[in-house]
């Protein structure tokens, strides 16, 4: 049911309206890029791409207030809210475009703004009416997951090992808080050692940036070389033992995925093509149509 021309008759200029709003937001802060990209991932993996991640808590706690999603940067939500306001300010477009579709378009736009590939976004998702804190824990992968478990979680959404490796390339931009990888540098396997898959010089650098008593807000760029550019540097980092999260470095440790890492590291065009294919599949997860959803007036509340 998804299609690139979905709003052809209802709001023909929706793509340029969203793009303009995203550009303005990006000029204010470049954190807009990783924040929006991660928001899209966390939305699609929990109840499908239906903007459930944007619903505010009511008498029960919603996804965004779950422990994992509390680390989603506010600028991602703000990007969608601003783009939605821009769309709704155009006569005829008011309440015609779903928050889920605006998030999908904004994600495409931030990737291009950071120097990554551009692609046609499929549209036609409705917004969901349900969001629960409990659903996040079992659906969002954790940074200490083994490859087998990561693969299982992605496979449950029809995503292949190639898709997993390509989508992990999103970690070419953005930050991680120290607590997400502190075990690797201070207490690996519970015996006060350092994860041996970490490059020793990089491990030292991380210990400096994340001292044992680091404040909870302390964060490190996930790609130490080109932290703001959407490129294949992430894979080159993995080849050098500079994957920040255990789940990143695992892609190079295992033979099955190492070949893909090497391929993406050596050929940015292949990486971009694989990423576009994978994020397009990501955007198809759990699509709601008809009575299953609605076009939310306010992205943070059901109608």
157 is catalytic: no
Minimum CB–partner distance for residue 28 and ligand HEM (Å): 15
Please return the burial class of 201, using the count of CB atoms within 10 Å of its CB with bins 0-12, 13-18 and 19+.
exposed
Using CB under 5 A as the binding rule, whether residue 171 contacts Ca ion is answered as: no
235 lies in the binding site for ligand HEM (CB under 6 A): no
Nearest to 288 by CA among 116, 32, 48: 48
CA distance 223 to 243: 8
Q: Which one of ligand HEM, Ca ion, none interacts with residue 73, CB within 5 to 8 A by kind?
A: ligand HEM
Nearest to Ca ion of 62, 226 (CB atom): 226
Among 13, 57, 61, 71, the residue binding ligand HEM under the rule CB under 6 A is 71
Please enumerate in sequence order all residues whose Cβ is within 8 A of that of 161, keeping only pairs 6 or more positions apart, or say none. 151, 154, 256, 257, 260
> Quick one: 86 or 250, whose CB is closer to ligand HEM?
250
How many residues are present in the chain? 303
The angle at the Cα of 227, spanning 235 to 68, to the nearest 5 degrees, equals: 85
Q: Which of 52, 66, 151, 274 binds Ca ion (CB under 5 A)?
A: 52
- Of the pair 93, 103, the CB lying nearest Ca ion is at 103
Q: Interface with ligand HEM includes 37 (CB under 6 A)?
A: yes
171 near ligand HEM (CB under 6 A)? yes
Contact 299, 80 (CB under 8 A): yes
Contact assessment for residue 170 and residue 164, using Cβ atoms and an 8 Å cutoff = no
- Which CB, 38 or 242, lies closer to ligand HEM? 38
Helices (H) and strands (E) in the chain, counts: 13, 2
What residue ranges bind ligand HEM (CB under 6 A)?
34-35, 37-38, 41, 71, 73, 141-143, 145, 150, 167-168, 170-171, 173-177, 180, 245, 247
What is the set of active-site residues? 42
């Amino acid at each position: 049911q998804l299609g690139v021309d979905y709003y052809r008759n209802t709001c023909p200029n929706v793509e340029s309206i969203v793009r303009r709003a995203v550009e303005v937001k990006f000029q204010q802060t470049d954190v807009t890029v990783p924040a929006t990209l991660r928001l899209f991932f966390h939305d699609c993996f929990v109840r499908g791409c239906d903007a459930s991640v944007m619903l505010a808590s009511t008498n029960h706690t919603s996804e965004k207030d779950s422990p994992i999603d509390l680390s989603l940067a506010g600028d991602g939500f703000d990007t969608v809210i601003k783009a939605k306001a821009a769309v709704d300010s155009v006569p005829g477009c008011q309440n015609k475009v779903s928050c889920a579709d605006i998030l999908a378009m904004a994600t495409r736009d931030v990737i291009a703004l950071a120097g990554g590939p551009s692609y046609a976004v499929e549209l036609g998702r409705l917004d969901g009416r349900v969001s629960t804190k409990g659903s996040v824990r079992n659906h969002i992968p954790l940074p200490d997951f083994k490859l087998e478990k990561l693969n299982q979680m992605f496979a449950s959404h029809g995503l292949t090992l190639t898709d997993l490796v390509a989508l992990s390339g999103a970690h070419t931009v953005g930050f991680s808080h120290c607590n997400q990888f502190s075990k690797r540098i201070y207490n690996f396997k519970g015996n006060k050692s350092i994860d041996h898959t970490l490059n020793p010089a990089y491990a030292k650098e991380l210990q400096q940036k994340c001292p044992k008593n680091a404040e909870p807000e302390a964060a490190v760029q996930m790609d130490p070389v080109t932290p703001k550019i959407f490129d294949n540097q992430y894979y080159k980092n993995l080849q050098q033992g500079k994957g920040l999260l255990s789940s990143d470095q695992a892609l190079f440790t295992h033979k099955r995925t190492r070949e893909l890492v090497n391929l993406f590291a050596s050929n940015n065009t292949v990486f971009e093509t694989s990423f576009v294919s994978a994020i397009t599949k990501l955007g198809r997860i759990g699509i709601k149509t008809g009575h299953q959803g609605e076009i939310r007036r306010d992205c943070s509340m059901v109608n």
